Structure 1
Amino acid sequence: MKNNLPLNLNLTTPRMNTFETLLKKISNAKPLDFGTIISESIELFKKVWLKGFLIMLFLVIAAVCIGFAFRLIGLAPDPFDLNNGFSFETVTGFYSQNAIYSIPQTILISTLTLAFVAAFYRICKQVDSGENVNDDYFYFFNKSYFTKVFMLGIIHALISAVAQLLLFIPYIYVLVPLAYFAIILANNPDLSEIEIVKASFALGNKKWLITFGTMFVTGVLGMLGMLACGIGLFFTIAIVYLPVFLIYKEVIGFNTYSEIEQIGVNDDSDY
């Protein structure tokens, strides 16, 4: 039978097109205004503070349970010992040892954090766009996604451990790209783990300074909850997640899967 398919037919998959679209948008991203991101973070926080409180509550409960379980089985990192005196060698030795021995615990905490924060971003998107809000905080614990979330948790923990072993500056650097794992996952769950990591580092590198700056400022604002006898921190600290959400919104947007964009990606003409 004669093949009548056109020779220039593009056979790339929608998932591949989505990844290429993400990278293209990141590459062409325009400068963002620092003050605008901060003010929009505050305004969005006013709408989602209770949802953020619940996410932080889930995270703290999960972290406490995991820490208790690891201490119970004797796999928790040793506490810092000052009996041998305080020195640079003592601190760096403890720092390195803690980074290595805490990897199993960090993998579990990273996995749960990614799942909860991705669900939080999904809810934030619904609130921000005026959609009907579905408060499904366990959305990414679904078997369709959890294996992917667990693999991302492993990657997240290993990158963090390596960065910690290289001491302070590399660890500060990777905090920004790692912060984009959850938002990329939340809006592009069909991407592979490696594609999510690549897109996160591409966006983190492109917008590193404004991401770090806005996260620092919102982190300071979030710490104001400490003034309420410490318990207020649970209600305020979730604001630190919102700059990443808003930067993603400005750079990439929430219409990655639209048919118009897919036609644009498949088009062989120049942009």
Structure 2
Amino acid sequence: MPPLPVFRTKADLRQQVTAWRQDGQKIALVPTMGALHAGHLDLIRIAQSKADRVIASIFVNPTQFAPHEDLDRYPRQEAADRDALSTAGCDGLYAPTTHVMYPAGFDTSITPGRVAERLEGAFRPHFFGGVATVVTKLFLQALPDVAVFGEKDWQQLQVIKRMVIDLDLGVDIVAAPTRREVDGLALSSRNAYLSDAERAAAPVLKQVLDDLALKVRDEPAQLAMHMEAGIKRILSAGFRAVDYLEVCHAETLSPWQAGDPARILVAAWLGQTRLIDNCGLD
């Protein structure tokens, strides 16, 4: 198998994309921050079903981390990631440096709208602006026809969908179902931070989501009571704090009203690790 092409600059990336386009090929992009797991490789496979060529990007984006967050210790393993992408049949890796992505004098950012205000937006107000800006730059650098994002980051997915529509970016956004461990824990690069005891407690998030989904369907009038019980259950399992557990409109992330498409989202702290998850009512 030939080595996976790695592009470090916008010029090299665009030269390859231009060549593929001249051959009439459709391009898919899978943006990641590296530390790839089976869930990321699912995104590659879905992208392969939507396009002729697939580029993965790896960039740990500093603008979506607050000063107190885990930018410096976020797992980085480019060699292993490159091998995994090559085995998965990816056609290229775009791995720019921070200087390439944010050169000297960079002074422009994108501010998402209402879909970014609540939940993650309330607890991490810097986050979605950083995501929106870097994703837009990746789209303009790679010029993909399709981009694939995981449903685990549900609010991020909705922010990106809204941004693509509002800014006429012309990229088809494809959602990939969340890959889970056998016990239900959503795969995440940050799971590597968990101790053995924390890892044993972590699946309660999915259990609470599933139970709450049933109760929202059967007893929507008792929603507040069921959410309170869910929070207590998460804390009693060993989590130290719950940032939110909410039922929201699936697309706008506004508070849910009976009859709306619904998504249940949760963020909670297990030791020093913040886990997020979500599910629909189906």
TM-score (norm 1): 0.23
Q: Which has the higher helix share?
A: 1
Report the TM-score when normalising by structure 2: 0.22
Bigger fraction of residues in strand: 2
Kindly name which structure, 1 or 2, has the bigger radius of gyration based on alpha carbons: 1
RCO (CA 8 Å, sep 6+): is it higher in 1 or 2? 1
